[in-house]
Amino acid sequence: MTAPETRTAPFGRMLCAMITPFTASGALDPDAAGRHAAALVADGCDGLVLNGTTGESPTTTDAEKAALLRAVRAAVGDRVPIVAGVGSPDTRHTIDLARQAERAGADGLLVVAPYYSRPPQAAVETYFRRVADATGLPLMLYDIPDRTGIRVEPETLLRLAGHPRVVAVKDCAYDLLGSTKVIGATSLAYYSGCDELNLPLYAVGAAGCVSTVANVAPRQLRALLDAFDAGNTAEAARLNRLLTPLTELMTASGLPGTVTAKALLGAGPVREPLQPAGRGATDGLRRAYEELLTTTGRCPSPTPVP
């Protein structure tokens, strides 16, 4: 077990990959975003990630991304770090988004690997270095090959760890061995980006998690990390088991986490090509959530975002 005081957690420990609320007509709802962000911080999140996968970044405009960041910053102030998603398949566009996020008040940048074109590792490394050199903000590299079509290989991460502004990794590679090796060989702060791996990665030295499930169950996830840090691994394992049914429905049921989180939160529509959860899926999510409440007794049902 890694002691809490020896973990490097530059953006906090318990981060929420925040949804982006929309109005009934599909427009950005910055007021709802601010309320949701403030509630997450009150319920235990010590960092927020905006404009990521769960935030529907492929379907929000550059202007909407900046407006969302400004609204959340106004709502939470300087109480927690805000990490802004800026990745794209185009290095120039990613740099533009990075500079925009810096001007809008981000504390860090979440930079996904360049997707679709599937560049070789040398080009992936150059992409990250160019973005890291474009602003004064620290970077969290986002390794999610299932969506991007390309892996950020451990050897590439080992080289990038030498850059002074590359400080963290959001890990969705499902490669516990590779992640453990990089954690052990570098000072990179690893954040689990897959909720089912939050506890296993934390146990081998990760800094924390960037969680979709935290949109609806932040206190339970925070309690899991707290229990592990206190040396109560049995309680951490118990909480992990209790969270598993909801985690599975939210992230592994065939519906994107954006869709399932918004179904539970009533946070407005999703943008096409995504479609809202059907009645059966929504009812199942609510049953799993109510069961979690029954067994943990930690917080009321999700507060509607609008």
Weakest mean pLDDT among 8-22, 198-212, 268-282, 292-306: 292-306
Distance from the Cα of residue 175 to its chain's centroid: 18
Q: Which residues does the annotation mark as catalytic?
A: 142, 170
Token couple for 234: 């049995």
Average pLDDT of the residues in 278-306: 82
Instruction: Please tell me the CATH code under which domain 11-217 is placed.
Output: 3.20.20.70
> Is residue 4 over pLDDT 70?
no
What pLDDT does 240 receive? 98
Q: What is the pLDDT of residues 19-68, one digit of tens each?
A: 999 999 999 999 999 999 999 999 999 999 999 999 999 999 999 999 99
Q: Where are the domains of the chain?
A: 11-217
Considering only CA atoms, which of 187, 145, 144, 140 is closest in space to residue 162? 187
Considering only CA atoms, which of 16, 3, 4 is closest in space to residue 170? 16
Give CA–CA dist 51/62, Å, rounded: 10
Average pLDDT of the residues in 164-191: 97
DSSP 3-state of 95: helix
What pLDDT does 297 receive? 73
Phi, psi at 208, each rounded to 5°: 160, -145
What pLDDT does 8 receive? 87
Give 306's pLDDT tier (boundaries 50, 70, 90): low
Give CA–CA dist 204/228, Å, rounded: 12
Mean pLDDT taken over the chain: 95
Of all residues in the chain, the percent with pLDDT exceeding 90 is 93
Average pLDDT of the residues in 105-131: 97
- CA angle 101–162–95, rounded 5-degree value: 25
> Is residue 304 over pLDDT 80?
no
